């Protein structure tokens, strides 16, 4: 199973994303939107979610990096 793990990870991630986006796609399909428009809306929605996550985590990452840089003198031997 360890041999297949690197190959299976992208499929598992894609299946998870598809699982969460399926209700939105079904709603758009119910309203009769064109397939290309549905795809564009779902891609933009996913990009907006990723951007929101990155923007939300950026301040936390900055605080952690500042703490790491300040602790480097105490970590390294003289």
Q: Tens digit of pLDDT for each residue in 25-51?
A: 888 888 888 889 988 998 998 899 899
Q: 24 near 45, Cβ under 8 Å?
A: yes
Q: What is the mean pLDDT of residues 2-21?
A: 86
Number of domains in the chain: 1
> What is the pLDDT confidence band of residue 24, given thresholds at 50, 70 and 90?
confident
Residues 6+ apart with CB under 8 A from 75: none
Q: According to the model, what pLDDT value does residue 55 have?
A: 95
How far, in Å, CA of 38 to CA of 23, rounded?
12
Q: How far apart are CA 77 and CA 10, in angstroms?
A: 41
- Name the phi and psi angles at 47, rounded to 5: -65, -40
Structural domain for 19, as ranges: 5-75
Q: Supply the pTM of this predicted model.
A: 0.61
Q: Give the position of tokens 């979610």.
A: 49
Tokens found for residue 27: 């709603």
């Amino acid at each position: 199973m360890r041999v297949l793990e690197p190959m299976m990870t992208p499929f598992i991630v894609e299946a998870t994303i598809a699982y969460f986006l399926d209700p939105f796609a079904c709603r758009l399909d119910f309203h009769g939107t064109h397939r290309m428009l549905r795809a564009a809306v779902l891609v933009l929605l996913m990009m907006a979610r990723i951007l929101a996550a990155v923007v939300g985590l950026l301040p936390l990452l900055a605080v952690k990096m500042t703490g790491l840089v300040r602790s480097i003198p105490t970590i390294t031997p003289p």
